[in-house]
């Protein structure tokens, strides 16, 4: 006997209700609560083994970040081996199991835990530290500080605690956000002081903040990425902080300074009497609104007011006004894929300075019929940069710190015609800049300073040689009188032979002392950065400025120029999806589109970059994110169009950042077809 339609619907409703109930119980589990607790990072820092695993396992860090942003992600990751191992490292096995829990062992002897309350099993030990690890004195001190802040800012409590005697109630307390980056709605009419995010920005804008962070977190100076994120917040303020709201490293760093952030007040705010004495609820009670603060801000230097986006728009506007890349002449490059560098070098080096600056760029690949509405040009810069700056060819080498950033190699002096090759490299950088194409190469910070002809400092050595930087930094920070037997010389290796080189005339007879160590450090920095690459750098800079006027580029600092030339390799899937358009009947909730994004999420980062390169011609992402992807005639978003038979592979139109995706009948077919397309296809079709 077949069940009736109402019975089927009832069963479906019951199943959905049961699923929601299981999810609700899962989110109340000790492991989910621990991962999303405000004290998670504080507890993590107290467990060296777990902290080491967290900082070295990128996948683990990604999973925890997603769960802390949205606890529902825990359902997906709860059985992940790395996450289970990490959580079990945090468990206190000396404690008794919570009520209703039981530990058993499977046939291999591996322990697992039975939650009789929820009728569920898990390999995660539930004895996790859910209570705050801070001693009572610290918590009491924090509450005292919070009351002081609330009182001084004139905050009004929305409600009184149940059972509290109003006659003995202290000043109202605003709860600290459960997340370091929780954003508060703030309006002028609220009369409220700085939000928690404002306090973070103010705290990080202290002149000596890097020394403060280094003292509490010794690994900070060696984490270049984290230093740059802090600098981004110092420069961009709240907008930069919002963009980094999901960054686990930054959240963990700031969790060490929660007390300091909460009680930090900018020095200029303390000078104004309204900070401590103001009518309750008055708008002027906010330090940001006081006249003294406004005058202080008017006198303050402007590094935090620089608008990079406006600067970039102004740069491109000046290029257009001066006729860069506008024609009427054409810079025609006809490239054989199997002779890419050779063809590019021979053709680009034949053009004059004027032609390079004024001509409109046109690239075509031999044997491919694609019209250049920017697709082939974009892929040309992607491919030529991947080969030209590859350490395999000897012109460049990986920095001492990683295999991600490259720098000019001292051994490049033995490459035939190396000066012309570096001049060609500079021209490639210049052409990519004026035609707004990104390169698939990431250089060290001193490289960009060299392009801008900006002198390097001791801190720049971090990007080249971390150990060398630490040695000089120690010398700078400590009294070295009668400690080091050094002279103004350095040992160099040339053809396997160690030779001594003087850093200044007569340097072999000049001992390094506390009095002259500053000069010694400066000369050592200059030697290490310029070591064997001065002439190569000069040739590259010469080629770069043959294409673009140095006065136009000088508006950028090294970090900004890096973003303009190389973009970023980090893919934000939510940003990608929210900046994608659909055609031909597709929409964001269409089943094929849901399968598409599920496939992209399943891809590893390399496969995602391959997909991006397949559709747009480049795997680099503009610093503004996917909203700033460019097409043939300006900004053009990533697009997915319904097209083709289900037997066909997806097709790309790189000039228009468009993917033609057939309406495949199953996820497995779509996944396989996409993999085949992005990994085995590399030519252009005619639009």
**Percentage of the residues of the chain whose pLDDT score is greater than 70:** 74
Sign, CA dihedral 23-29-31-32, equals: positive
Residue 341 CA neighbour count, 13 Å, CB half: 11
Q: Which residues does 612 contact at the CB level (< 8 Å), separation at least 6?
A: 571, 618, 619, 621
- 234-243, 496-505, 580-589, 604-613 — most confident range: 580-589
- Here the tokens at position 116 are 């009789």
- Here the tokens at position 430 are 């210049």
Rounded to an integer, the average pLDDT of 169-183 is 39
| SS3 of residue 632 by DSSP | coil
Name the pLDDT band for 161 (thresholds 50, 70, 90). Answer: very low
CA torsion, points 137, 141, 143, 147, in degrees to nearest 10?
150
| SS3 of residue 238 by DSSP | helix
- Here the tokens at position 187 are 């309006």
Q: Which helix (H) or strand (E) holds 113?
A: strand 111-115
Rounded CA-CA distance 69/179 in Å is 9
Higher pLDDT, 326 or 178: 326
Residue 257 CB coordination number (10 Å): 19
Rounded to an integer, the average pLDDT of 379-399 is 88
Rounded to an integer, the average pLDDT of 386-399 is 87
Rounded CA-CA distance 31/125 in Å is 8
Domains of the chain: 5-122 (2.20.70.10), 136-155+190-304 (no CATH), 318-479+514-567 (3.90.1750.10), 573-680 (3.30.2410.10)
- The answer to whether the beta carbons of residues 36 and 29 sit under 8 Å apart is no
Rounded CA-CA distance 667/593 in Å is 10
Q: Which residues does 73 contact at the CB level (< 8 Å), separation at least 6?
A: 63, 66, 67
Q: Is the pLDDT of residue 306 over 50?
A: no
Q: What is the pLDDT of residue 44?
A: 81
Name the DSSP letter for residue 115.
E
- The answer to whether the beta carbons of residues 649 and 673 sit under 8 Å apart is yes
Q: Which residues does 35 contact at the CB level (< 8 Å), separation at least 6?
A: 64, 67, 68, 71, 74, 87
Which burial class, exposed, middle or buried, applies to 633 when counting CB atoms under 10 A from its CB (0-12, 13-18, 19+)? Answer: exposed
Which burial class, exposed, middle or buried, applies to 304 when counting CB atoms under 10 A from its CB (0-12, 13-18, 19+)? Answer: middle
The pLDDT tens digits for 488-531 are: 998 877 666 788 888 899 988 899 988 899 999 999 988 888 88
- The answer to whether the beta carbons of residues 527 and 465 sit under 8 Å apart is no
Q: Is the pLDDT of residue 3 over 60?
A: no
What is the gyration radius of the CA atoms in the chain, in angstroms?
Answer: 30
Name the DSSP letter for residue 472.
H
Q: Give Cα separations from 637 to 154, 464, 667, 684 (angstroms).
A: 47, 36, 25, 19
Rounded CA-CA distance 112/79 in Å is 12
Give the residue among 355, 359, 404 at the shortest CA–CA distance from 377.
359
Q: Which residue carries 């600056």 as its tokens?
A: 357
Rounded to an integer, the average pLDDT of 106-132 is 82
Q: What is the pLDDT of residue 288?
A: 34
- 295-304, 550-559, 584-593 — most confident range: 584-593
- The answer to whether the beta carbons of residues 63 and 73 sit under 8 Å apart is yes
Rounded to an integer, the average pLDDT of 443-471 is 83
End-to-end CA distance of the chain: 57
- The answer to whether the beta carbons of residues 450 and 537 sit under 8 Å apart is yes
This prediction has a pTM of: 0.45
The residue count for the chain: 687
Q: Could you tell me where the beta strands, DSSP code E, fall in 488-633?
A: 489-494, 497-502, 580-583, 630-631
Q: What is the pLDDT of residue 372?
A: 52
Rounded to an integer, the average pLDDT of 358-375 is 76
Q: Is the pLDDT of residue 217 over 70?
A: yes
Q: Which residues does 158 contact at the CB level (< 8 Å), separation at least 6?
A: none
| SS3 of residue 474 by DSSP | helix
Q: Give Cα separations from 487 to 32, 57, 67 (angstroms).
A: 59, 43, 55
- The answer to whether the beta carbons of residues 183 and 248 sit under 8 Å apart is no
Name the DSSP letter for residue 174.
P
Q: Give Cα separations from 459 to 51, 236, 456 (angstroms).
A: 27, 21, 8
- Here the tokens at position 378 are 């974009």
Q: Is the pLDDT of residue 293 over 70?
A: no
Residue 126 preceded by cis peptide, ω within 30: no
Residue 30 CA neighbour count, 13 Å, CB half: 27
Q: Mean pLDDT score of the chain, rounded to an integer?
A: 76
Rounded CA-CA distance 595/650 in Å is 14
Q: What is the pLDDT of residue 65?
A: 78
Phi, psi of 430 (to 5 degrees): -65, -45
Name the pLDDT band for 41 (thresholds 50, 70, 90). Answer: confident
Q: Which residues does the annotation mark as catalytic?
A: 655
CA angle in degrees (0–180, nearest 5) for 97-103-107: 165
In sequence order, the β-bridge partners of residue 652 are 659
Which burial class, exposed, middle or buried, applies to 390 when counting CB atoms under 10 A from its CB (0-12, 13-18, 19+)? Answer: middle
Give the residue among 474, 436, 351, 473 at the shortest CA–CA distance from 618.
436
Q: Is the pLDDT of residue 292 over 90?
A: no
Q: What is the pLDDT of residue 21?
A: 66
Q: What is the pLDDT of residue 8?
A: 44
| SS3 of residue 398 by DSSP | strand
Name the pLDDT band for 75 (thresholds 50, 70, 90). Answer: confident
Q: Which helix (H) or strand (E) holds 30?
A: helix 30-35
In sequence order, the β-bridge partners of residue 493 are 498
- 26-30, 255-259, 616-620 — most confident range: 26-30
């Amino acid at each position: 006997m077949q069940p009736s339609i109402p019975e089927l619907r009832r069963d479906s409703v019951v199943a959905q209700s049961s699923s929601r109930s299981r999810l609700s119980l899962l989110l109340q589990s000790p492991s989910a609560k621990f991962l999303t607790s405000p004290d998670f990072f504080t507890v993590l820092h107290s467990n060296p083994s777990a902290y080491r695993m967290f900082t070295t396992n990128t996948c683990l860090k990604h999973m925890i970040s997603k769960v802390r942003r949205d606890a529902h992600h825990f359902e997906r990751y709860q059985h992940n081996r790395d996450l289970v191992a990490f959580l079990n490292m945090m468990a206190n096995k000396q404690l008794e199991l919570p009520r209703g829990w039981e530990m058993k062992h499977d046939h291999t002897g591996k322990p697992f835990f039975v939650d009789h309350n929820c009728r569920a099993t898990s390999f995660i030990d539930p004895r996790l530290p859910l209570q705050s690890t801070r001693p009572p004195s610290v918590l009491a001190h924090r509450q005292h500080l919070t009351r002081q802040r609330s009182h001084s800012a004139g905050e009004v409590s929305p409600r009184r605690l149940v059972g509290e005697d109003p006659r003995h109630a202290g000043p109202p307390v605003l709860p600290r956000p459960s997340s370091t980056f929780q954003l508060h709605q703030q309006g002028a009419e609220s009369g409220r002081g700085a939000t928690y995010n404002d306090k973070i920005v103010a705290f990080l804008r202290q002149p000596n903040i890097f020394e403060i962070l280094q003292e509490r977190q010794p690994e900070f100076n060696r984490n270049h990425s984290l230093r740059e994120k802090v600098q981004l917040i110092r420069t961009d303020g709240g907008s930069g902080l919002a963009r980094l709201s999901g960054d686990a490293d930054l959240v963990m760093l700031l969790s060490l300074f929660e007390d300091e952030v909460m009680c930090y007040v900018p020095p200029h705010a303390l000078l104004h009497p309204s900070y401590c004495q103001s009518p309750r609820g008055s708008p002027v009670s906010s330090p940001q609104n006081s006249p003294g603060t406004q005058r202080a801000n008017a006198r303050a230097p402007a590094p935090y007011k620089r608008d990079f986006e406006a600067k970039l728009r102004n740069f491109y506007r000046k290029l257009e006004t001066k006729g860069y890349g506008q024609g009427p002449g054409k810079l025609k490059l006809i490239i054989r894929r199997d002779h890419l560098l050779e063809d590019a070098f021979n053709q680009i080096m034949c053009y004059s300075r004027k032609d390079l600056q004024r001509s409109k760029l046109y690239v075509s690949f031999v044997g491919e019929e694609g019209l250049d509405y920017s697709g082939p040009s974009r892929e040309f810069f992607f491919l030529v940069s991947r080969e030209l700056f590859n350490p395999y060819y000897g012109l460049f080498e990986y920095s001492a710190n990683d295999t991600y950033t490259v720098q000019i190699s001292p051994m490049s002096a033995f490459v035939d015609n190396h000066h012309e090759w570096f001049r060609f490299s500079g021209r490639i950088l210049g052409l990519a800049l004026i035609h707004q194409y990104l390169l698939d190469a990431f250089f060290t910070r001193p490289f960009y300073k060299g392009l801008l002809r900006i002198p390097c400092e001791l801190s720049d050595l971090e990007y080249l040689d971390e150990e060398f930087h630490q040695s000089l930094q120690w010398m700078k920070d400590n009294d070295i009188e009668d400690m080091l037997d050094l002279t103004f010389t350095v040992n160099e290796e040339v053809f396997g032979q160690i030779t001594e080189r003087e850093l200044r005339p007569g340097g072999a007879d000049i001992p390094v002392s506390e009095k002259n160590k500053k000069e010694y450090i400066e000369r050592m920095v200059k030697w290490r950065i310029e070591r064997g690459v001065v002439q190569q750098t000069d040739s590259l800079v010469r080629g770069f400025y043959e294409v673009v006027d140095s006065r136009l580029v000088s508006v950028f600092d090294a970090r900004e120029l890096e973003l303009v030339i190389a973009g970023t390799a980090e893919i934000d899937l939510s940003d990608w999806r929210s900046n994608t358009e659909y055609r031909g009947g597709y929409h964001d909730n269409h089943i094929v589109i849901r399968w598409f994004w599920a496939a992209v999420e399943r891809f590893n980062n390399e496969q995602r970059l391959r997909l991006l390169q397949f559709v747009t011609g480049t795997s680099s992402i503009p610093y503004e994110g996917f909203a700033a992807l460019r097409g043939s005639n300006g900004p053009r978003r990533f697009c997915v169009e319904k097209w083709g038979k289900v037997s066909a592979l997806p097709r790309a139109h790189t000039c228009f950042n468009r993917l033609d995706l057939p309406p495949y009948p199953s996820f497995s077919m779509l996944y396989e077809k996409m993999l085949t397309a992005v990994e085995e296809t590399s030519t252009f079709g005619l639009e």
